[in-house]
Amino acid sequence: MIEIRLNDGSVKNYDKGITIEHIAKDLSSSLAKKSIAGWVNDELYDLNRPILSNSRVTIVTKDDAKAFEVLNHSTAHLMAQAVKRLYPDAQFGVGPAIKEGFYYDIATAHKIGEEDLALIEKEMRKIIQEQTPMSRQVLTRQEALERFENDPFKTELIQELPEDEPISIYTQGEFVDLCRGGHVGNTKHIKFFKLLSIAGAYWRGDSDRGMLQRIYGTSWFTKEALENHLKVLEERKARDHRKLGKELRIFELNRDAGQGLAMWLPNGYTVRKVLEDYVYKLERKAGYKHISTPILGTKRLYEISGHWSHYRENMFPVMHRDGEDFVLRPMSCPHHALVYQSELRSYRDLPIRYAEIVTQHRYEASGALTGLERVRAMTLTDAHLFVREDQIKEEVLAAYNLILTAIQDLGLEIDYVELALRDHDKGKFHDNDALWDLAESMLKSLLEEENIEYIEMVGEAAFYGPKIDIQVRTAMDHVITMSTVQLDFLLPENFDLNYIGNDGEKHRPVVIHRGLISTWERLMSILLEQYKGAFPTWLAPVQIKIIPVNTEAHGTYAKALNDQFIDLDIRSELDLREEKLGYKIREAQTQKIPYQLVIGDEELNNNSVTYRAYGKKEQVTLSLEAFFDFIQAQIRTKK
């Protein structure tokens, strides 16, 4: 007999080899129905894995967060078994549970297509009906190597494990896989799942290795939960900025231009220009001075700043010309340091706030590129504040509040705030402990004094200092760093920046790096998904489409209206094509233009307009003056 201490503190005696499944049945039939796995002395056990010694046991039920992971990990194995039956030559990479489901990487001569997913699902259901157990076995390293001697993927994984580490495998009918475990114990416990898509994936994420076929899927405990998730996925698909960007002619990605190098089309550039003008005005009111610096920098510039030693793998290659080495600019702080250095500074001059709409280039791996969300050339409003130490708190807080204003005006919400700190990896961060301790303590104190909730992220600081990162959750459920405020004592040291204090002596300024609303590329991806392409009026590339009922009879009045709107800086377009009225209105709706103005006899005779708002069927007639007031208020208030 062995003693099992349960989560409520009670102790029960069972025969050696008892399982989580049988303990749950002994405690109650309702618990047995909800059980999915268990923690045994802090190790995750399958439902059917024998417990061999006195243990502390916590039963994992379907309501626990861990249960979803266990179910999806198990469903990944179920899918792999079905694939192996259908395509016997199949070999498998890794098949983990992920946030909303699972995937498995597969090597097979058969080109798996979308039409094959239903066939694989059918085979999975057959295996479920067979109620196939998932049995765990522990092997030595040598036994495991012999077991998988014809499997290059598993052999590679085994060889990377410590020589004395026990290795577990799982047998599920004729299917055997290397696995740490955490399974439901029997395929009968898997009921509601869906295979979602197929993609290519490099083995171990290395583009120099072979390309595998990756099947994504999701598994849930109830039919309703699965159906709700599939509805969410459909909604996300409709919001995907890559799809919307193509339909609304916002941007173009073309391999001939270069991967990760976006081209802004007229509609996209218009929105970008509106954002640039908005940010410029916001920054001017906040006391920023705008500058412009080169898109290139010398290698030496980045050696001085420290970026070359800490960041060069993310830069494009060096270009050698006329005895100089140049790189495409990955960030603008070194240039801004040179601008600060261009004249003698007094303590009375500080704070100096430089801002620039700057294009930066960073070499991202091709597999990491995602539409506008992750690119190799990015433009942003980048700012660097040169301040005295006694000004740090006020300036960091002002930068933080400016970020809040911009995020609110854009109709977005903060998901959470991170305080990114260093760890003790001396190669990753500069090694002046005193500067680190000072910078980190300052940011911590500020956040706590202002009652700003934050999560500490150790090891995520910039190489030169800690930072406050503001995270936004997109409509696609991606968490993206939207804005950042970073404290930097190192850059002034590296560039020997000074100001003359009130004592007549030289003093070091402190640099605050501030990113306001991410890059234009990433921000556009967020806004497209947030608004499903239907931008608020102030941001819309075309705010008004004017459609005369009859081009000959109403075209002159329509053109005069269009000219008046343009004179008022309202983005208006006139549709004089010889097409049916209904077609023109539907097209304007498809383009998600906020207002369509239909001009007929009544509008011509009464000096009025009749408008239809995007997404609505009703039409509203207003005097021309009333509509001017209405549309200008929409733009001014950013509704």
Which pLDDT belongs to residue 208? Answer: 78
The helix or strand, by DSSP H or E, that contains position 562, with its residue range, turns out to be helix 551-567
Mind listing the pLDDT tens digit for each residue in 457-481?
888 888 888 999 999 888 777 788 9
Residue 65: pLDDT band with limits 50, 70, 90 = confident
Mind listing the pLDDT tens digit for each residue in 387-432?
999 999 999 999 999 999 999 999 888 999 999 898 876 556 666 7
**Cα 329 from Cα 593, distance rounded (Å):** 37
261-293 CB burial, b ≥16 within 10 A, e <16: ebebbebbbbbbebbeebbeebbeeeebeeeeb
Which pLDDT belongs to residue 423? Answer: 82
Which pLDDT belongs to residue 617? Answer: 84
**Cα 164 from Cα 162, distance rounded (Å):** 6
Which pLDDT belongs to residue 426? Answer: 57
Decide: helix, strand or coil at residue 337: helix
Residue 371: pLDDT band with limits 50, 70, 90 = confident
Q: 468 CB contacts (<8 Å, ≥6 apart)? A: 396, 400, 417, 418, 419, 420, 443, 447, 454, 484, 485, 486
Which pLDDT belongs to residue 437? Answer: 84
| For residue 186, pLDDT beyond 80 | yes
**Cα 258 from Cα 569, distance rounded (Å):** 35
Which pLDDT belongs to residue 181? Answer: 85
Which pLDDT belongs to residue 581? Answer: 84
Nearest Cα residue to 310 out of 196, 463, 200? 463
Which pLDDT belongs to residue 546? Answer: 94
CATH placement of domain 2-61 = 3.10.20.30
CATH placement of domain 66-229 = 3.30.980.10
* Pair of tokens at residue 509: 């300024």
Give the domain ranges of the chain. 2-61, 66-229, 263-530, 544-637
Which pLDDT belongs to residue 428? Answer: 64
Q: Radius of gyration (Cα) for the chain, nearest Å?
A: 31
Mind listing the pLDDT tens digit for each residue in 215-249?
999 999 999 999 999 999 998 888 889 999 999 99
CATH architecture label of 263-530: 2-Layer Sandwich (3.30)
Decide: helix, strand or coil at residue 163: coil
Which pLDDT belongs to residue 12? Answer: 87
For 552-564, what is the mean pLDDT? 90
With beta carbons less than 8 A apart as the criterion, state whether 306 and 430 touch: yes
Decide: helix, strand or coil at residue 35: strand
Which pLDDT belongs to residue 9? Answer: 84
Residue 447: pLDDT band with limits 50, 70, 90 = very high
Which pLDDT belongs to residue 427? Answer: 59
Per-residue 3-state assignment (H helix, E strand, C coil) for 64-116: CHHHHHHHHHHHHHHHHHHHHHHCCCCEECCCCEECCEEEEEEECCCCCCHHH
For 172-186, what is the mean pLDDT? 91
**Cα 171 from Cα 137, distance rounded (Å):** 8
CATH architecture label of 544-637: 3-Layer(aba) Sandwich (3.40)
**Residues of the chain with pLDDT > 70: what percent?**
99
Nearest Cα residue to 591 out of 545, 526, 627? 545
Which pLDDT belongs to residue 394? Answer: 93
